[in-house]
Structure 1
């Protein structure tokens, strides 16, 4: 057995940031190198994502326990990968997919497969005595860079008990010259938002990803608060900082129409396009995620064509799946892809999906999920892939801050360039307010 061969896999059930179970895995190599990783979990999930296996037993965590996934990792997946070289990530992931035998990893669970996949990469980096981000860059064959943060300020949708129709209103510090400066700007905006809401007597309770949840019925009220928060923080809307929207429209789509209860609207696909276009025309919006349902391909194409200088991000549309990304490219749908490890189910598959998007000129945004842990893997992933952008959540709660802080450490240690606006589709020139 070579020194890089996997010698043991141990998985367990732990709790994520929402107090729900998830899978954590440890991988040990023959030379004693170790890696540990935790599978994230989403609240707003696309129907085409890799399968998150839960037990469904109401007597344990209201049916959300992952003991079967853990058992699968400790038995079938361990048997499949033991003896495989951890530095051969694609091979390790392939044997796990073969062991599962289903397209979406529904038999053994993508949460089990992903935890082992990520832990393998960590163990391989330890074996090579290099940082994880450097190992990931070697796997992907990409140039490293520090990502631009896209940060939740106000939240609704599935992240906040559907207090607002649109899922997230985010800030992008487009005027920042470094990652650390960008993070400081975001923190100022988040603080000014909380103060403004407190002054108006609005609740400052947190949503799943740490965003504030004012519960506005009208999206324009949230947008106005975003602008006021920028100004109160001493930043210029459209020059120092811009707005990103995560519509999460699949959550609003029912019986062929989009239901925006807060707005009091029921919209066709064409009307939904006009609604989002109208918002974007009145505010410094530079990125719009999932403005339409995950299978509303024709309206996606139409919407993308209407905003050639705005980043249009596919999340539920693409689910970090090479086939769906290639389908979207052929159809002219979106111009950017959200990259989520657990949507794909393996690290190597996630790298392939990122490469497919970038080969077509699409921007990429590495993203966390609403159910996270203190695992900082995606911080290293965003740097190693040179993704250009990262979407972690707000600057609150340790499962979010662990990742923001890991990026600060990487910035200090690696002395890498900052992607800035170059990583954002359509933003290689200054933004007009």
Structure 2
């Protein structure tokens, strides 16, 4: 009987020889033969494991083999899109990851039943069309592509979207022609003209009143191609797949992508959260309409974990002030889809005084221990029949009066360091005025004007007012490469980028990775309630902890604002000082900034007065 050891080794020489001959015939490197020689005395199981580890390094990289789109529900029960990516990994079909992308549709407040039904139909049609694209043509188009080749994937998605957009334009043109042919227009009968010397509608014996300067009309609503959410969903899903197969967190993968896969930054900052505490907008029961969101921003010297703990204490204190008896359910019933408290207020100062009181009860001071931001959403408040903003029920203000009101507000409450959409994007002159007056003391952020990211990149003057930065939402035909390009442009022009959630959010937390990887200054996630909101804050905390553990966490930087007025004056002085030169060979589109102008931060938060100078202000409505 042979020894067991010899019996175990008998097939090894034959196995080694066969493997060596096979891989030598297939031009395997010489080091493989050396590796096989090193396995001569290994036991069979050890040999198989050794060869498997070695050959896995020589295997083909994973490629996309299948993509599945599904209809799922978001945080408010509305349909949205899920995308799952399968890859061929070592000859096996494997599910790598899935994402859920938010819909572009906003929550309609105080809308008619007809409008709500139309919005629901639009949502369903868009998701169903996106599923057709993903599960049919796009599935075939992206098959066998490497998920790490994000540029190639986004290029194909962009071409596909452009083709669908052109088809939609042709379809609408045919429909218009058919309608024009089917409807016979009656002959035009000219209206009787007014007698000479008399104006139509004017009464004799009375002087006509001088009308105010007309406001610019609202720009056309940006059309959203039905099914375009498939583009955003697939681009993000492929990016997450590329990060997964490379065993890299999504935020680091995006940071590499933004850096064009050069050296990874040694340190990454975590964006400051803009936490929505109160909603005093049109959906509330009070007179105040202006403050759709009143947000809290922790100071930069705190970690995100410390900041969120502080903001949670303020939220609890505000809830006690709103419900002094201590009955929890009435307050909890006022939680909005944004995860914040809905409360009715009758003046501009009332919500600010409420937060100020809560901070005092906790021994905190506004402007030092916590800062404020206000989402004004002014485009929702314009009464176009009167040409004014209705900031309170029955209180109307012209665009110029709005600027004066904001100046008064910031003078009394310098703890407000950001105003989001204080005016419509069409009020270009007023945006310029408010930036020149308040730009060195707070951020003036545009959200409504930055919805179409692809259009911003195509036309850098696409109706973007003068401002400090943009709120970016990832949806519709947006692609990951679009975000990286846009944030690079904003960084180069000293503008801030804010990644924001939509009204109908899902529990997918990829947005936080986008904000960290792309170097956003703030992340706007809503309130500290509702699962789809809280899961994103938890992801932000996890990323901060991971960066700190790996020594990659960059400490908080002070807020820096832009002295727009000084910048304009300096630019004019330079213009007069420089001699006239002929225009160079470069096209103007290469030197045109994305927003209204280049900016240099010259003023920091520490130079603004503290709230202690304004705490004696009594509650009252601004004139």
Relative to the length of structure 1, the TM-score reads: 0.88
* Residue 519 of structure 2 is aligned to residue 386 of structure 1: yes
Q: Secondary structure at the match of 1:208?
A: coil
Structure 1 pair 110–69 and aligned structure 2 pair: CA distance change class (3 A): same
Decide whether the 8 Å contact of 1:159 with 1:370 is kept in 2. no
Give the one of 462, 473, 485 matched to 1:352. 485
Partner of 2:314: 189
Whole-angstrom CA distance in 2 between matches of 1:72 and 1:329: 29
Unaligned runs of 5+ in 2: 1-58, 108-114, 167-221, 563-602, 611-623
Whole-angstrom CA distance in 2 between matches of 1:85 and 1:368: 29
* Residue 134 of structure 2 is aligned to residue 73 of structure 1: yes
Whole-angstrom CA distance in 1 between matches of 2:64 and 2:293: 41
Partner of 1:312: 444
Structure 1 pair 344–230 and aligned structure 2 pair: CA distance change class (3 A): farther
Q: Residue 160 of structure 1: CA displacement?
A: 5.8
Q: Residue 405 of structure 1: CA displacement?
A: 0.5
Q: Secondary structure at the match of 2:475?
A: helix
1:30-429 to structure 2, matched below 5 A, reads: 30-31=88-89, 32=94, 34-41=96-103, 44=106, 64-65=123-124, 66-101=127-162, 102=165, 106-107=224-225, 109-141=227-259, 143=265, 144-157=268-281, 164-174=289-299, 176-199=301-324, 203-204=331-332, 205-255=334-384, 257-260=387-390, 262-283=392-413, 284-309=415-440, 310-319=442-451, 321=453, 324=456, 327=460, 333-342=466-475, 345-415=478-548, 416-418=552-554, 420-422=556-558, 425=561, 428-429=604-605
Decide whether the 8 Å contact of 1:21 with 1:64 is kept in 2. yes
Partner of 1:51: none
Higher relative contact order (CA 8 A, sep 6+): 1
Whole-angstrom CA distance in 2 between matches of 1:343 and 1:246: 23
Decide whether the 8 Å contact of 1:100 with 1:107 is kept in 2. no
Q: Residue 94 of structure 1: CA displacement?
A: 2.0
Whole-angstrom CA distance in 1 between matches of 2:454 and 2:499: 15
Q: Residue 106 of structure 1: CA displacement?
A: 4.2
Q: Residue 294 of structure 1: CA displacement?
A: 2.4
Decide whether the 8 Å contact of 1:2 with 1:85 is kept in 2. no
- Which range moves more in the overlay, 84-93 or 128-137? 84-93
Residues 298-329 of structure 1, C-alpha deviations (whole Å, 9 max, x = no match): 22122211112211111112226265487469
* Residue 81 of structure 2 is aligned to residue 23 of structure 1: yes
Q: Secondary structure at the match of 2:299?
A: coil
Partner of 2:64: 6
- Which range moves more in the overlay, 87-96 or 390-399? 87-96
Matched pairs, number: 423
Decide whether the 8 Å contact of 2:449 with 2:464 is kept in 1. no
Structure 1 pair 115–233 and aligned structure 2 pair: CA distance change class (3 A): farther
Decide whether the 8 Å contact of 2:231 with 2:476 is kept in 1. no
Decide whether the 8 Å contact of 1:13 with 1:22 is kept in 2. yes
Q: Secondary structure at the match of 1:366?
A: strand
Partner of 2:581: none
Residues 252-310 of structure 1, C-alpha deviations (whole Å, 9 max, x = no match): 12427343253522222111212222222211110111111123222212221111221
Structure 1 pair 151–42 and aligned structure 2 pair: CA distance change class (3 A): farther
Decide whether the 8 Å contact of 1:339 with 1:365 is kept in 2. yes
Q: Residue 186 of structure 1: CA displacement?
A: 1.5
Whole-angstrom CA distance in 1 between matches of 2:105 and 2:356: 27
- Which range moves more in the overlay, 365-374 or 192-201? 192-201
Q: Residue 105 of structure 1: CA displacement?
A: 8.8
Whole-angstrom CA distance in 1 between matches of 2:605 and 2:139: 50
Q: Residue 343 of structure 1: CA displacement?
A: 6.2
Q: Residue 337 of structure 1: CA displacement?
A: 1.4
- Which range moves more in the overlay, 77-86 or 115-124? 77-86
Structure 1 pair 263–364 and aligned structure 2 pair: CA distance change class (3 A): same
Whole-angstrom CA distance in 1 between matches of 2:493 and 2:346: 38
Structure 1 pair 16–330 and aligned structure 2 pair: CA distance change class (3 A): closer
- Which range moves more in the overlay, 288-297 or 57-66? 57-66
Whole-angstrom CA distance in 1 between matches of 2:283 and 2:101: 18
Unaligned runs of 5+ in 1: 46-55
Whole-angstrom CA distance in 2 between matches of 1:39 and 1:127: 21
Structure 1 pair 220–43 and aligned structure 2 pair: CA distance change class (3 A): farther
Decide whether the 8 Å contact of 2:106 with 2:504 is kept in 1. no
Whole-angstrom CA distance in 2 between matches of 1:76 and 1:106: 20
Supply the RMSD in Å over aligned alpha carbons.
3.0
Q: Residue 190 of structure 1: CA displacement?
A: 1.5
Q: Residue 429 of structure 1: CA displacement?
A: 4.1
- Which range moves more in the overlay, 127-136 or 289-298? 289-298
Relative to the length of structure 2, the TM-score reads: 0.63
Structure 1 pair 171–135 and aligned structure 2 pair: CA distance change class (3 A): same
